[in-house]
Amino acid sequence: MIEFKLPSMGADMDEGKLLEWKVKPGDKVKRGDIVAVVDTTKAAVEVEIWEEGTMHEWVVQPGETVPVGTVLALLLAPGEDAATAVRPKPAAAPAPAVERRRISPAARKHAQELGVNLDLVKGTGPEGAVTVEDVEKARAPAAPVDRNLEMRKAIAAAMSRSKREIPHYYLSETVPMLRATEWLARENEKRPVTGRLLMAVLQLKAVALAAAKFPDLNGFFRDGAHQPSSAAHVGVAISLRQGGLVAPAIHDVQAKPLDELMRNLADLVKRARAGSLRSSEMSDPTITVTNLGEGGVEAVFPIIYPPQVAIVGFGGIKQQAVVASVAADHRVSDGHRGALFLAEIARLLQEPEKL
């Protein structure tokens, strides 16, 4: 049997609330299918599965909040059948999880109907079980979750961890942008308004091509070691109108043409602001790009988003030049490599037609 666990969708995520199952028992799934929707502090994230199988049993029900790593559902692997499949033993060291609570099925159903969060309901039944009556009592409106506050806390946790654990070094370089600006203007002149490109797309592609060439600035630092990535899944820092930010990935940026990247970026920004992202977008970024040039900022000295090992910042284009900067993890790379990486980004931006 396959255990479908709640994945970590970013360093700032400890738990998630299951909002909805997208697949019911008996349904077949393949790699990349969206199986569930989970609420994190940042968005309602569509969680994908990366194995093939058939949904067998929902272990966690909508409305429940569980820690990262909790088994959400059991699936049958291809060829397995329910009668013979071996149920995985619970892990020896269960996640620091909340003990499974006793909640009567009727109470669970009632809570769902009323939109009552069972986590907040105190059980008064046998062994602390939550009863229908408890749900009724809890119906009185609880203080609404302050999403902005939650997101602030999540960002605080991730950034504090980064500054505590990662020895950052910072480099910057002024990159001439005349060619890229002129090329982009010529290109956009030929295009209908719906097909125009933004400079951000050229920058993303240049960073991805450079990152693919410098694996020590691309990938993750986990369990005391660097896990380089040959693909550049570039996290794009997107500020949200209500405050806060997310940095979901565009996958395989190094291999995509600019038109496709522009469509991906437009879609990602739209979904990020609508609070609808996918789990792989949240967990896969191997490097992040932040562009703060819109408001007149000259240079950015960003903080690495763990477990990544580098982040690239762009300021605004002024006098046909932009300050590109990198913050990188000194456990993995040295300043010399970071400098070569930045120089490669600068070089790539001088040949926009080849991006």
Partner 1 sequence: MNAADVRAGVLAELRRIAPELEEGELVPGKPLRDQVDLDSMDWLNFIVALHERFKVEIPEADYARLGTLEATVAYLQERTLDPSQKAAPPRA
Give me the residues that bind partner 1 (CB under 8 A), please: 185, 188-189, 192-194, 196, 198-200, 239, 241-242, 265-266, 269, 294
Q: How many CA atoms lie within 13 A of 215 on its CB side?
A: 6
Q: Which residue, 199 or 332, is less far from partner 1 as judged by CB?
A: 199
The nearest distance, CB 174 to partner 1, in angstroms, is 21
Task: Please give the Cα distance from 273 to 240 (Å, whole number).
Answer: 6
Instruction: Report CA-CA distances (Å) from 250 to 50, 98, 207, 300.
Output: 18, 34, 12, 21
List the Cα angle 255/340/202 in 5-degree steps: 35
Q: Tokens in use for 77?
A: 């692997």
Closest separation in Å from C-beta 283 to partner 1? 23
Lookup result for tokens 């986990």: 222
Nearest distance from C-beta of residue 247 to partner 1, angstroms: 15
Tokens encoding 18: 């299951």
How long is the chain? 355
User: Would you say 190 or 354 has its CB closer to partner 1?
Assistant: 190
Q: How far is the CB of 198 from partner 1 (least distance, A)?
A: 5
* Residue 314 Cβ vs partner 1, minimum distance, rounded to whole Å: 12
Nearer to partner 1 by C-beta: 9 or 265? 265
Nearer to partner 1 among residue 112 and residue 239 (C-beta): 239
Instruction: Work out how close the CB of 323 gets to partner 1 at its nearest, in angstroms, rounded to a whole number.
Output: 17
Rg, the chain, Cα only:
23
- Rounded to a whole number of angstroms, the minimum distance from the CB of residue 331 to partner 1 is 33
End-to-end alpha carbon distance in the chain: 45
By beta-carbon proximity to partner 1, the closer residue of 75 and 262 is 262
- How is residue 278 written in tokens? 């996918």
Residue 95 sits at φ, ψ, to 5 deg, of: -55, 155
> Which residue, 56 or 271, is less far from partner 1 as judged by CB?
271
Angle formed at CA 247 by CA 291 and CA 282, multiple of 5 degrees: 160
Calpha distance 67→5 (Å, rounded): 10
Least separation in angstroms between residue 66's CB and partner 1 is: 33
Nearer of residues 227 and 239 to partner 1, judged by Cβ = 239
Cα gap 283→308, rounded to integer Å? 10
Query: To 5 degrees, how large is the angle CA 105–CA 111–CA 114?
Result: 145
Q: Select 255 or 266, whichever has its Cβ closest to partner 1.
A: 266
Instruction: Provide the token pair at 105.
Output: 């099925």
Q: Which of 192, 202, 142 has its CA nearest to residue 350?
A: 202
User: 2 vs 177, which CB is nearer to partner 1?
Assistant: 177
Q: Give 106 or 245: the residue with its C-beta nearer to partner 1.
A: 245
Strands, DSSP E only, in 31-90? 34-39, 44-48, 53-58, 65-67, 71-76
Kindly state the smallest distance separating residue 80's Cβ from partner 1, in Å.
46
For residue 57, list its beta bridge partners.
74
Report the nearest approach of partner 1 to the CB of residue 344 (Å).
24
- The token duo for 30 is 């393949």
